[in-house]
Amino acid sequence: MLSRVADNLYWMSRYLERAEHIARVMEVQYNLMLEATAESEEERWRRVLRTLGVRVKEGESVVEVAHSLTSDPDSPTSIVHCVMSAREIARQVREQISSEMWEQINRLFHAIRRADRVDLWQSDPLDFFQSICEGSYLFQGITDSKMTHGEGWHFIQLGRYMERASTLSTLIDAHYSEFDVALDPSVESDGDHLEWVGLLKSCTAFEAYCKVYSAETRPDRIGEFLILSPNFPHSIRFSVDAVETALRAISGLSSGKRSSRIERITGRLRAMLSFSQIDEIMAAGLHSYLQNVLKQCADAHSALHQVYITYAIEAALEA
């Protein structure tokens, strides 16, 4: 497979996952905002921006920045930008993906363009967020059932789960630093109950969590579920496992011998998540643990590019 095509499939998938994540977080937060709380709208949006890893510059209005995350095509962190980028990339590799995949991503793009014309925040943004998430689910379903599960498909998996591992780490880290749990994480936090439910919902995890731990929202259990669950698709460990599986498949298919570096990075990360315990993580500091995950994801990303996409010609000729 051409390196450019692999790179395009990877990014197409990352952008779409990112759009879905932003839409889901905003949907959950918008719902929470409907409940009367003492907190001002501005405070809440400031926190949402942190959980999405968006910085607010000096002098910018927090609310405006938050609103621009839906529809500002020039903001690199907006939903519109992500979907447009994914679609533009898909257009360039249209021959490599199935026509149904292309049609679905094209449909999502046109739906967004239509939504762009009305002022979302004056009407009902929930529909918009839901249509993004559903559009993304549909795309994933079509991809899994219509595309050969070959190298290209594995690059799509790689993009999705690499993005998911990173966004989850950022989200969880920001949430735990906002809501102080240092005293005793095993005690249910009464005042912030809704916020913890919100965190779970932002990861589509509320129902799944309840099945395992009941509806009692204890910060340590939530952390265990979202970080270390081996079976839940929106946990960090699950995502890293999926990244590693995809990478193994790719290095088996593309017959290169240069992949050991990236396999070492992801293998180490996977082992770390497999053998960690939540009480140890909490004791040693959740923040530094998640920052470590983020750094290793970034390392894996750049190693991926060095091995498969932008490798030096000399290195490839020796192999």
Partner 1 sequence: MASVAGRRTDPFPLNDYELREAYDEMLTPSGEVRSHYQFLQEALLELPEAELRKRKQAADLSFLHQGITFTVYGREEGTEKIFPNDLLPRILTDQEWQKIERGLSQRILALNLFLKDIYHEGKILNDGVVPRELIYTCKHFRRQMRGFQVRRDAYVAVAGTDLIRQPSGEFVVLEDNLRVPSGVSYMLVSRQVMKRTFPVLFRRCGVQPIEHYAQALLATLRSLAPEHAAGDPTIVLLSPGVYNSAYFEHAFLARQMGIELVEGRDLVVHDNCVYMRNTGGLTRVDVIYRRIDDDFCDPLAFRHDTILGVPGLFNAYRAGNVSLGNALGTGVADDKAVYAYVPKIIKYYLGEDAIIDNVQTFIMTDPKERQHVIDNIGEYVVKAVGESGGYGMLIGPHSSDDQRDEFRRRIEADPRNYIAQPTIQLSTAPCLIDGRVQPRHVDLRPYILFGEKTTIVPGGLTRVALTRGSLVVNSSQGGGSKDTWVLH
147 near partner 1, judged by CB under 8 A: no
94 near partner 1, judged by CB under 8 A: yes
Q: Of the listed pieces 169-177, 226-234, 236-244, 308-316, which binds partner 1 according to CB under 8 A?
A: 308-316
210 near partner 1, judged by CB under 8 A: no
Q: In whole angstroms, how close is the CB of 52 to partner 1 at the nearest point?
A: 30
Q: How far apart are CA 256 and CA 121, in angstroms?
A: 50
Q: How far apart are CA 305 and CA 221, in angstroms?
A: 36
| Contact criterion met (CB below 8 Å) for 244 and 286 | no
Q: How far apart are the first and last CA of the chain?
A: 17
Smaller CB separation from partner 1, 181 or 307: 307
36 near partner 1, judged by CB under 8 A: no
Q: In whole angstroms, how close is the CB of 13 to partner 1 at the nearest point?
A: 15
Tell me the Ramachandran region of residue 72: left when phi exceeds 0, alpha when psi lies from -120 to 50, beta otherwise.
Answer: beta
Q: Of the listed pieces 107-115, 175-183, 222-230, 309-317, which binds partner 1 according to CB under 8 A?
A: 309-317
Q: How far apart are CA 248 and CA 240, in angstroms?
A: 12
2 near partner 1, judged by CB under 8 A: yes
254 near partner 1, judged by CB under 8 A: yes
- Exposure of 156 by Cβ count < 10 A (0-12 exposed, 13-18 middle, 19+ buried)? buried
What ranges in 179-223 are assigned the alpha helix state H?
A: 193-202, 206-213, 219-223
Q: In whole angstroms, how close is the CB of 2 to partner 1 at the nearest point?
A: 5
15 near partner 1, judged by CB under 8 A: no
Residues that bind partner 1 (CB under 8 A): 1-4, 6, 91-92, 94-95, 151, 250, 253-256, 258, 308-309, 311, 313, 316-317, 319
